[in-house]
Amino acid sequence: MTDDFGATSTPMAATTPTPTTLTTADGLSLEAQWALPTEPRTKVVIAHPHPQHGGNMHSLVVSTLFTHLSDAGCAVLRFNFRGVGGSEGEHDFGEGEQLDVRAAVAAMTEAGDAECPLVLAGWSFGADLALTCDAPELTGWFLVAPPLRVVNADRFKAAPDPRPKWLAVPERDQFNPPDQARSTVADWANTEIHPIGGADHFLVGRTDKLNTLIDEFLAGL
């Protein structure tokens, strides 16, 4: 199995997810999975890396976060973007995929307690797409290795939003290292850069640091 830009992922012994289907505003059905505890402490939607480089909802970082969060009692939803796996449609270069993210957020909003914090997360391509969504139901964003160039900057609706945004940026990211990311988000509202030491864009062997970081983020909501 390959991840964003061809990195190889390792299957994990995950919490058994439940299949579900999302429907986008333009009428596509998207393949998805979620874990829905009876009384979740938080809801998290996770968007996957670039479909044209092997990214899907089973990619390494997505699977790691899904497993960790569901084991911690969170409600978690992951999905395949249009044209990936069992999802209908075709890759739309970050345009139609914005509707996919909105469909996932809407589905998770309707699941369980409406007062439960709802976080939108993503890795790489999925992180940039998460930034295009400023749904009022969201509590914040957790973004892993965002390239910050998948779509035009004016599509990053989350940038001026006062709700919290944490960017987990690998120390040796090949596409957007911490210093470059800091420069890009310097005028964004309520945004923090958190370098991941010893990691590159693919985070192989460093995903445990993401688990710790997202725990800290959720605890502060």
- Domain positions in the chain: 4-159
Of the pLDDT bands very low, low, confident and very high (cuts 50, 70, 90), residue 11 is very low
Higher-scoring residue by pLDDT: 14, 204: 204
Token pair 């190889």 is found at 8
Pick the CATH number of 4-159 from 3.40.50.800, 3.40.30.10, 3.90.1260.10, 3.40.50.1820: 3.40.50.1820
State how far the Cα of 37 lies from the Cα of 54, in Å rounded to an integer.
30
The answer to whether 218 and 211 are in contact (CB under 8 A) is no
Q: State yes or no: pLDDT of 61 exceeds 50.
A: yes
Of the pLDDT bands very low, low, confident and very high (cuts 50, 70, 90), residue 14 is very low
SS3 98: helix
- Structure confidence at residue 80 (pLDDT): 98
Q: Nearest-CA neighbor of 32 among 79, 76, 95?
A: 79
DSSP line for 44-88? EEEE-S-GGGT--TTSHHHHHHHHHHHHTT-EEEEEPPTTSTT--
State how far the Cα of 133 lies from the Cα of 208, in Å rounded to an integer.
27
- pTM confidence score: 0.93
Q: State yes or no: pLDDT of 193 exceeds 50.
A: yes
State how far the Cα of 165 lies from the Cα of 179, in Å rounded to an integer.
17
* Residue 94 CB neighbours (<10 A): 18
> What is residue 50's DSSP assignment?
-
Distance, C-alpha 22 to centroid of its chain: 16
What tens digit of pLDDT does each residue of 148-182 get? 999 999 999 999 999 999 999 999 999 999 999 99
Q: Nearest-CA neighbor of 142 among 45, 72, 74?
A: 45
The answer to whether 35 and 66 are in contact (CB under 8 A) is yes
Q: State yes or no: pLDDT of 54 exceeds 50.
A: yes
The answer to whether 167 and 139 are in contact (CB under 8 A) is no
* Lookup: tokens for 28: 């596509």
